[in-house]
Amino acid sequence: MQNGNHQLINRWRLKESLRRTYLRRPDLLEGLELDKDAQKLLREVRGEEDSKAAAARLNLDND
């Protein structure tokens, strides 16, 4: 990387890593000790994914 905001990039990478784990192996997140930043990102991921699931259910109900 030659330029860019490395802190934001690292945050995005961690968030996407948490998202993949949440979607594929949520059991691995149970009991895992995360720092405050990672906990916040995981809460964001859960909210985003729950919203997506709710929207998908609404779309299925309307079909």
* pLDDT tens digits, 9-51: 999 999 999 999 999 999 999 999 999 999 999 999 999 999 9
Distance CA 15, CA 37 (A): 10
Domains of the chain, earliest start first: 6-62 (1.10.1270.20)
pLDDT of 54: 85
pLDDT of 12: 96
- Which pLDDT band holds residue 56 (cuts at 50, 70, 90)? confident
Q: Is 1 a residue whose pLDDT tops 60?
A: no
| pTM summary value | 0.81
Residues 4/12, Cβ–Cβ less than 8 Å: no
Q: Confirm if 31 and 2 have CB atoms less than 8 A apart.
A: no
